[in-house]
A and B are shown apart, each in its own frame.
Chain A
Amino acid sequence: AQTVTQSQPEMSVQEAETVTLSCTYDTSESDYYLFWYKQPPSRQMILVIRQEAYKQQNATENRFSVNFQKAAKSFSLKISDSQLGDAAMYFCAYRSAETGGTSYGKLTFGQGTILTVHP
């Protein structure tokens, strides 16, 4: 079974600075997807960024980028020019890209990292 680990329960950053959130995962599969979701105080789960494992290029969405190291099974999220609205719980998630089996479609989440942004 796949597991996702976020080793930083809490992180903080000054407004306009850069912060990196860590995520590692364990899988025997070669094809999969990785995601970062953001959960603000409203509790809504919001997709931040998505990475396909077969792509070597790291995904980027505006101020959000990832460092995907497939061999090391590491998937960190970098937030540049942090804003007050970035304060939230961030979840790393894994999804198999292999068809069939009982885990088809399932997202496996890490424990989450609470990000605080200081003005």
Chain B
Amino acid sequence: DSGVTQTPKHLITATGQRVTLRCSPRSGDLSVYWYQQSLDQGLQFLIQYYNGEERAKGNILERFSAQQFPDLHSELNLSSLELGDSALYFCASSVAGYTDTQYFGPGTRLTVL
């Protein structure tokens, strides 16, 4: 157990819908990262937050957005869902920034029908 929690574990929804994935970092960690794992794209970095502020952005679609709240939990919002958004979404956390090891949560499996 890495100490990073993600809810829900599984999510099944329809095209065009909107979903929210939630992540709670390890106690004491200030940075949260979101990654997407799909069969065709592999593991890809989406976005990073540090202490409530966006720090780095990867190949995140405009339909996707994220935020980190004052209690340091983070949410990833996915809207206008398409079949191709079906993937495993991971949250990771680290103490601070670039020197720290990232620890991953168990992931949320999103299926878009």
Which residue from chain B places its CB closest to the CB of A100 in the assembled complex?
A: B98
A45 to chain B, nearest CB (A): 4
Q: Is A103 in contact with B56, judged by CB distance below 8 angstroms?
A: yes
Contact with A along B45-68 (1 / 0, CB 8 A): 100101000011110000000000
Q: Is A106 in contact with B48, judged by CB distance below 8 angstroms?
A: yes
Q: Is B98 in contact with A96, judged by CB distance below 8 angstroms?
A: yes
Q: Is A82 positioned at the interface, with any CB of B under 8 Å from its CB?
A: no
CB neighbours of A103 from chain B (8 A): 56
B32 to chain A, nearest CB (A): 10
CB neighbours of A111 from chain B (8 A): 42
CB-contacts of B30-50 with A (<8 A)? 31, 33, 35, 42-45, 48, 50
State the total of A-B contacts with C-beta under 8 angstroms. Answer: 65
CB neighbours of B101 from chain A (8 A): 35, 47, 50
B7 to chain A, nearest CB (A): 15
CB neighbours of A109 from chain B (8 A): 42-44
- A47-B103 contact given A105-B33, A105-B48, CB 8 Å threshold: yes
Q: Is B97 in contact with A107, judged by CB distance below 8 angstroms?
A: no
Tally chain B residues at the interface, Cβ within 8 Å.
28
Q: Is A117 positioned at the interface, with any CB of B under 8 Å from its CB?
A: no
CB neighbours of A35 from chain B (8 A): 101
Q: Is A43 positioned at the interface, with any CB of B under 8 Å from its CB?
A: yes
A78 to chain B, nearest CB (A): 20
Residues of A within 8 A of B (CB): 33, 35, 37, 42-47, 50, 91, 95-99, 102-109, 111-112
7 nearest CB pairs, A to B: A45-B104, A109-B43, A106-B45, A104-B56, A105-B48, A105-B56, A44-B106
Q: A44-B104, A44-B107, A108-B45 are in contact. List 4 more A-B contacts (CB 8 A).
A: A50-B101, A91-B43, A107-B35, A107-B45
